Amino acid sequence: MEIAETKEYNELIYEIKSIVQTSRTQAVASVNRGLINMYFLIGKNILLKQETEGWGQSVVDCISSDLLREFPEMKGFSARNLWRMRQFAREYIKFIDLPQAVAEIPWGHNIAIIEKIKSIDEREFYIKKTIENGWSRNVLIHQIESDLYSRTLNAQKKAVNNFRSTLPEKQSELAVSIIKDPLCLEFLGVSEDDEEAEYIKKRIYIE
């Protein structure tokens, strides 16, 4: 019998594939954490400077112009996104450090949550469910608009049973959502149109 046909060999291949997938997911999550923390710090600095110096709204346009001049490949430094960073920082500045779970989901997910939800408990609920179930941004928004939070509270623990247990493939779906985010690619210094970007998209998550 060929070695490749044995049970032991197939078990080894399965274990190696699991190691590769776990490492890929961890790599993507690490990039996202770096991006979210960077945005939080930028927003925090802008917010505090505006408060201490009395600067108006126009300073954000100036900051955007200077950053885009220095980092022309990073469209994430648009004035609109800088305002989002400022809003993001304002929502979480009460914490000494940015809550860990917040940095586990993509930027677009975070913006949807802070724009649509004011309650800290409710935000925590949707962040947790996004991580557990690997929701895309569209799914997250649908769950928010359908008021899953209230329905879950009203049904107590019954609604929770409708969610599948956290599975590697669900984590992978969230990882794909992260690495397809142009802002994450820009953070790595890679243009979305570059061949290197396509390589990263194909290699970091399951093809």
DSSP string, 88-139: HHHHHTTSSS--GGGGGS-HHHHHHHHHH---HHHHHHHHHHHHHHT--HHH
| Ramachandran quadrant class, 156 (left: phi over 0; alpha: psi -120 to 50; beta: rest) | left
**Counting runs of H as helices and runs of E as strands, what totals does the chain give?**
10, 0
Q: What's the first-to-final CA gap in the chain, in angstroms?
A: 31
Sign of CA dihedral 8, 24, 109, 32: positive
Greater confidence, 109 or 158?
Answer: 109
pLDDT in tens, 114-166: 999 999 999 999 999 999 999 999 999 999 999 999 988 887 555 344 433 33
Please count the CA atoms within 13 angstroms of the CA of 13 that sit on its side-chain side.
Answer: 8
Which whole-number Å values give the CA distances from 156 to 118, 140, 159, in the listed order?
Answer: 22, 20, 7
User: Can you tell me which residue has the tokens 């930027």?
Assistant: 107
Mutual angle of helices 195-204 and 168-179, in 10-degree steps: 170
Sign of CA dihedral 11, 14, 20, 22: negative
Say if residue 171's pLDDT is above 70.
no
User: Can you tell me which residue has the tokens 């490492």?
Assistant: 23
| % of the chain exceeding 70 in pLDDT | 79
pTM over 0.95: no
Say if residue 69's pLDDT is above 50.
yes
Say if residue 176's pLDDT is above 80.
no
pLDDT in tens, 28-67: 889 999 999 999 999 999 999 999 999 999 999 999 999 9
